[in-house]
Amino acid sequence: TLSDRLTSVLQNLRGRGRLSEADVDATAREIRIALLEADVALPVVRTFIANVKERAKGAEVSGALNPAQQVVKIVNEELVKILGGETRRLNLAKTPPSVIMLAGLQGSGKTTLAGKLARWLTSQGHTPLLVACDLQRPNAVNQLQVVGERAGVPTYAPEPGNGVGDPVDVARRSIDEAKRAQHDIVIVDTAGRLGVDEEMMRQAADIREAVQPDEVLFVVDAMIGQDAVTTAEAFRDGVGFTGVVLTKLDGDARGGAALSVREVTGQPILFASNGEKLEDFDAFHPDRMASRILGMGDVLTLIEQAEQAFDKDQAEATAAKIGTGELTLEDFLEQMLAVRKMGPIANLLGMLPGAGQMKDQLAQVDDKHLDRLQAIIRGMTPAERDNPKIINASRRARIARGSGVAIREVNDLVNRFYEARKMMQQMAGRFGFPGANRGGS
């Protein structure tokens, strides 16, 4: 995958004293291949590579960072730039109701998105109304109603028994209904086809014309790769749109669509969907997407969550201790407690850098096991937690008795703590934690 390739390219640069022009060229070539393999559109790749090369060559004089860190930083910044920079928020009307129209191919995830968006907006204090303007597929209206019920939001649809309504008419009348029932946002779900076709485009353009949406969101399946660009261009020309929503990011999409669509259409990506459930949805964060593509895991999300659970000074102190290999069992316990406030442990570990290569170990981490570890550490004295080296055989027996486990489990914990401390110190070195170059094992 793109992430694996970029990770290995960047790892090749580790330990170099300075970055030569040949290094920059070779790295750029690797990244270019990786991006093309990830289905990023060629013009986008060219721009990207040119920017990275230019900046990497200029950067060698700065010298504040080591070469690998410099390249990571530049590649990451350029990825963020191509993905749109800042997170763009929804444009809402000064006078409600605001109108958000969804457009895209059949199966791209519009109806699912309508429900996700409705739920998300409701959680922010809005009172959205869903509008069924896909009158093409037999079951489409019902599908939207089901999604709406799940999201706790009403759906406006043509009256049953009136035969097939006119979607433009339904859209227009839904605005009156929204005013009457005091919905501040109207979400218009539209019909799509399997391929781009003129009639679908005309219908969508007519709906747009009739209701003058504040946002037209082009919904695109991230799995369609290179086709995302041609489809986006067709919708841009046929209907026009103000923003993009990427769906199915939970699949093994290689990230190319995200990179290309924004750059080629000039329109920002507003939201990302990563699953079939209503809650598998979030505002699109270019910085997080970039770090995911780079194979750094979703480090930013992890940091954000960690900041809510830990005190910043303590986290920094712990990071420094990890780097120097001075972590104690007391720190280990505190970390464990703080981390567990954030959710199931395997999910959290999955966000760490390099987690992809640790799948087997991750599968063995379960919360029950952590309960036992926690009990063992609680059974130790502060002096033992600070300096596990003093935990001799009689202390081990006492701890085991006190925490209701076998002596073997205490031994295991102490041994694994040493191993973990060593591994964390090595990881810290790879990712440039403070103090990581000092200290031995």
Asked if residue 108 belongs to a known ligand binding site, the reply is yes
Q: CA-to-CA distance for 292 and 355, rounded, in angstroms?
A: 11
Q: Is 104 in the site for ligand GDP (CB under 6 A)?
A: yes
Q: Is 155 in the site for Mg ion (CB under 5 A)?
A: no
- Side-by-side strand order, sheet with 269-273: 155-156, 128-133, 185-190, 98-103, 215-221, 243-247, 269-273, 281-283
Residues 248-277 that bind ligand GDP (CB under 6 A): 248, 250-251, 273-276
For residues 231 and 224, the answer to whether their CB atoms sit within 8 Å is yes
Closest separation in Å from C-beta 221 to ligand GDP: 8
Tell the burial category of 367 from Cβ atoms under 10 Å away from its Cβ (0-12, 13-18, 19+): exposed
Closest separation in Å from C-beta 251 to ligand GDP: 6
330 binds, among Mg ion, ligand GDP, none (CB under 5 to 8 A by kind): none
Asked if residue 107 belongs to a known ligand binding site, the reply is yes
Q: Is 167 in the site for ligand GDP (CB under 6 A)?
A: no
Nearer to ligand GDP, 242 or 247 (CB): 247
Q: CA-to-CA distance for 380 and 398, rounded, in angstroms?
A: 9
435 binds, among ligand GDP, Mg ion, none (CB under 5 to 8 A by kind): none
The conformation of residue 162, written as its DSSP 8-state character, comes to: S
Q: CA-to-CA distance for 241 and 268, rounded, in angstroms?
A: 10
Q: Is 111 in the site for Mg ion (CB under 5 A)?
A: yes
Q: Is 112 in the site for ligand GDP (CB under 6 A)?
A: yes
Asked if residue 403 belongs to a known ligand binding site, the reply is no
Closest CA to 377 of 345, 346, 318, 337: 337
402 binds, among Mg ion, ligand GDP, none (CB under 5 to 8 A by kind): none
275 binds, among ligand GDP, Mg ion, none (CB under 5 to 8 A by kind): ligand GDP
- Select the span of 35-43, 109-117, 152-160, 320-328 touching ligand GDP (CB under 6 A): 109-117
- Select the span of 111-119, 167-175, 242-250, 405-413 touching Mg ion (CB under 5 A): 111-119
Nearer to Mg ion, 111 or 318 (CB): 111
Asked if residue 248 belongs to a known ligand binding site, the reply is yes
Q: CA-to-CA distance for 387 and 389, rounded, in angstroms?
A: 5
Q: Is 109 in the site for ligand GDP (CB under 6 A)?
A: yes
Bridge partners of 227, per DSSP, are none
Q: Is 267 in the site for Mg ion (CB under 5 A)?
A: no
Name the amino acid, one letter, at 207: I
For residues 233 and 241, the answer to whether their CB atoms sit within 8 Å is no
Closest CA to 90 of 266, 268, 267, 270: 270
Q: CA-to-CA distance for 36 and 295, rounded, in angstroms?
A: 17
Closest separation in Å from C-beta 389 to ligand GDP: 50
Count of residues that bind ligand GDP according to CB under 6 A? 18
- Select the span of 61-69, 107-115, 260-268, 321-329 touching Mg ion (CB under 5 A): 107-115
247 binds, among ligand GDP, Mg ion, none (CB under 5 to 8 A by kind): ligand GDP
Name residues whose C-beta falls within 8 Å of residue 394's C-beta, 6 or more positions apart in sequence: none
- Select the span of 105-113, 120-128, 305-313, 370-378 touching ligand GDP (CB under 6 A): 105-113
Asked if residue 104 belongs to a known ligand binding site, the reply is yes
Asked if residue 110 belongs to a known ligand binding site, the reply is yes
Nearer to Mg ion, 1 or 136 (CB): 136
Asked if residue 94 belongs to a known ligand binding site, the reply is no
Residues 275-314 that bind ligand GDP (CB under 6 A): 275-276, 280
Closest separation in Å from C-beta 161 to ligand GDP: 24
Closest separation in Å from C-beta 55 to ligand GDP: 34
For residues 380 and 391, the answer to whether their CB atoms sit within 8 Å is yes
Nearer to ligand GDP, 47 or 301 (CB): 301
The alpha carbon dihedral of 263, 264, 265, 269 has a sign of negative
Q: CA-to-CA distance for 165 and 180, rounded, in angstroms?
A: 21
Asked if residue 111 belongs to a known ligand binding site, the reply is yes
250 binds, among Mg ion, ligand GDP, none (CB under 5 to 8 A by kind): ligand GDP
**Which CA distances in Å does 337 have to 281, 309, 369, 370, 424?**
28, 9, 13, 10, 18
Tokens found for residue 137 = 């597929």
Name residues whose C-beta falls within 8 Å of residue 134's C-beta, 6 or more positions apart in sequence: 110, 111, 140, 141, 144, 167, 189, 190, 191, 192
For residues 129 and 153, the answer to whether their CB atoms sit within 8 Å is yes
Q: Binding-site residues for GTP, please?
A: 104-111, 189-193, 247-250
Binding site for ligand GDP (CB under 6 A): 104, 106-112, 192, 247-248, 250-251, 273-276, 280
Binding site for Mg ion (CB under 5 A): 110-111
